[in-house]
Amino acid sequence: MVSTDVEAPAKKIPAGSGFSHRIIPCLDVADGRTVKGVKFTSLRDVGDPVELAIRYQEQGADELMFLDISASVQGRKTMLDVVRQVARELSIPFSVGGGISQIEDVMRLLEAGADKVSVNTAAVKRPELIREIADACGSQCCVLAIDARRRTEPTQNQYTEWAVLTHGGRQDSGLEAFAWGEEAVKLGAGEILLTSWDQDGTRAGFDLELTRRFASGLPVPVIASGGADGPKSFIDVFTSGCADAALAASIFHDGHWTVGDLKEEIAKSGVSIRL
């Protein structure tokens, strides 16, 4: 059921809490190479995942996200050999998603060097997977990835609704995104990776309404994804969007910004960021 209270309170970070927003480069990997597209299509090769992982760590990334974007579509498991190669080079937290359908897949990824796992399609098909991961590894290990496409526009009495997409953005699950997020948190998801399908790869800025809905309405950290551009887009998503972290790909892969330069500009605005 859609709430009638449109104005949700913004998430508040206590003064002096030491909270710093995170910048997370994303490696979308297909067939062993890092790729990037627009709205999950027109993928282009942007480099070797191991080389990029090393580069972004050296630039000051807080975490790294590795998503095997073709695993669910092709019905196979995540590429463990590439995960191992990346993990060997990293000292920062490393999350891995794609092709995870059972707890044994999670254990293999953790043994290969992942710190957290991200689930999407398999969790929609079988929500109990979230509880299994949380029970076995802790909620902090379980990231729920939600690929959300705008379904309705807001009205005076109703929130906007977003559809949950699965299989790399190819299929509409029929679920409403925020309701699915609420259910997943109750099952044990410790973090939400929230990607706007409408903004993905456009460099038009994050979907602030979408991010704010989740960040202000759920008791777990929210990573904003889709539409990252320059420093202003990050400042906006950390303030107006209430996000805990922001993920980006194109602006780093194409050399528009380094992680370090981006952080310095964000810090000038007064937003807490780890330099």
Q: Which residues are catalytic?
A: 28, 147
**Which of 118, 125, 224 has its CA nearest to residue 171?**
125
The pair of three-digit structure tokens given for residue 47, joined into one six-digit string: 């480099």
Burial of residue 188 (CB within 10 Å: 0-12, 13-18, 19+) is: buried
CA 149 to the chain's CA centroid:
15
218-221: Cβ within 8 A, 24+ apart: 218/181, 218/182, 218/185, 218/192, 219/185, 220/139, 220/185, 220/189, 220/190, 220/191, 220/192, 221/190, 221/191, 221/192, 221/245
DSSP 192-249: EEEEETTTTTT-S---HHHHHHHHHH-SS-EEEES---SHHHHHHHHHTS--SEEEES
Q: From residue 55, give the alpha-carbon distance in Å to each of 60, 142, 185.
A: 9, 26, 33
